[in-house]
Structure 1
Amino acid sequence: MDQPHLHFTLEDLPVPMVYATHRIIRQVNTAFADLFGYLPDELTDRSFKILYPELSDFVMVGELWRSNFSGGRTYTDERIMAHRDGTHFWCRARGKSMIASDPFARALYCFDPIARPIDIQRQALTPRQTQILTLVAQGKTSTDIAGELGLSPRSIETHRYRLSRQLGLKNAAELVNWFATTKAASS
């Protein structure tokens, strides 16, 4: 017996979803708008940059996604975003491009809030440090990270070393443990 074919709109979905073209928000559901403290119509045709704590965060994430989102791949990361009231929060963003040759032309994204505190040490990190720390915590090697960011493996090693020193850690293993412990403590 054939099952009826169901059709859904973004609004029908219970998770925060957004459709965008070239990082301009075209359609959101209520769950997405609520997550950021807006009404859906207030986000339509606005740049994603209004949802980032700083313009540099918006630029950095765009560069990271451009290198990982091409070819029709799905990409996921964790980042700090900005609520309308000025507070910041962690979220996991997943995206899928609808056009393999132009990853930002038409894309669908899902945002999930993460119950992780924004601690002072993390806020003191530069956008590049946060980017590298996130990739290290995903288990990526310095060579992998260098390829994604267009830097040399030596540069990534230097960033990792400086991060360890800044946070008072002895080595990269403690850096990963610090990130995992901070993440687990907030869950």
Structure 2
Amino acid sequence: MSTVPGFTLADMPVPMVFATHRIIRDCNDEFAALFGYQRAEVVDTSFSRLYPAIADFVRTGDMWRHHLPGGAVYHDERIMAGAGGKRFWCRVNGRARDASDPFAAALYCFEPMSRPVSDTTYRLTGRQRQIMTLVAQGKTNAAIAAELDLSQRTIEAHRLRLARSAGVANAAELVAWFLSQPAGSD
């Protein structure tokens, strides 16, 4: 296994993975188990197999490429898919080594979240889930727009459509609706 000064990934008590160009090069058993696999089944495979759809894989890659400069830590929350298609929310923290190519070598920590994947939230578009996640993190429209490289008006329009479809009046109610959705039929 790859080593971290004094430790290997196998020693880490949380799901961790080392990747180059979005290919899993090494991981610990906790990471593989989170997705319902054995370690040997995921090493040297693309992260794309762990997403519900290829569009989610592409969108996440674009977001991380813009926000993961070398040495900095970046995180997001997203829906992932394990063996058999089981979907779950996960918080991902990562650090890239190369500022000019954040995917050349990166270390990621995956943390499963207790937030259910409901049929309602899964039917949101990938962009809507992305914006809703950032709203739930307490980010402003301006901060979300900057993070996603979109205009503030675009974010406002997405949030308005989300609020209308959920039948809520403000951001606090929208976040409460999002976090309270009953689990889907996974």
For residues 70 and 8 of structure 2, the distance between their equivalents in structure 1, rounded to whole angstroms, comes to: 25
For residues 168 and 67 of structure 1, the distance between their equivalents in structure 2, rounded to whole angstroms, comes to: 33
Deviates more, 1:127-136 or 1:144-153: 144-153
For normalisation by structure 2, the TM-score amounts to 0.89
User: 2:59 corresponds to which residue?
Assistant: 60
For residues 138 and 64 of structure 1, the distance between their equivalents in structure 2, rounded to whole angstroms, comes to: 16
User: 1:79 corresponds to which residue?
Assistant: 78
For residues 64 and 165 of structure 2, the distance between their equivalents in structure 1, rounded to whole angstroms, comes to: 27
User: 2:170 corresponds to which residue?
Assistant: 171
CA deviations on 1:63-120 (whole Å, 9 max, x unpaired) are 2212221242101111111011211111111111122222111000011111222112
For residues 9 and 83 of structure 1, the distance between their equivalents in structure 2, rounded to whole angstroms, comes to: 24
Matches within 5 A, 1:10-159: 10-159=9-158
In the TM superposition, residue 134 of structure 1 has moved relative to its aligned partner by 0.8
**SS class of match (2:111):** strand
CA deviations on 1:17-66 (whole Å, 9 max, x unpaired) are 10001111100111111111111111111110100011111111112212
For residues 61 and 160 of structure 2, the distance between their equivalents in structure 1, rounded to whole angstroms, comes to: 25
Q: Quick one: which amino acid aligns to residue 51 of structure 1?
A: L
For residues 111 and 166 of structure 2, the distance between their equivalents in structure 1, rounded to whole angstroms, comes to: 27
In structure 1, stretches of 5+ residues that fail to align are: 1-5
8 Å CA contact 1:70, 1:103 repeated in 2? yes
The reply to whether residue 162 of structure 1 matches residue 161 of structure 2 is yes
Could you list the structure 1 runs, at least 4 aligned residues long, displaced by more than 3 angstroms after superposition: none
Deviates more, 1:137-146 or 1:43-52: 137-146
Q: Quick one: which amino acid aligns to residue 129 of structure 1?
A: Q
In structure 2, stretches of 5+ residues that fail to align are: none
User: 1:182 corresponds to which residue?
Assistant: 180
For residues 52 and 91 of structure 2, the distance between their equivalents in structure 1, rounded to whole angstroms, comes to: 15
In the TM superposition, residue 130 of structure 1 has moved relative to its aligned partner by 0.3
In the TM superposition, residue 182 of structure 1 has moved relative to its aligned partner by 2.3
Q: Quick one: which amino acid aligns to residue 166 of structure 1?
A: S
Larger Rg: 1
For residues 81 and 156 of structure 1, the distance between their equivalents in structure 2, rounded to whole angstroms, comes to: 24
**Equivalent residues, number:** 179
For residues 38 and 172 of structure 2, the distance between their equivalents in structure 1, rounded to whole angstroms, comes to: 43
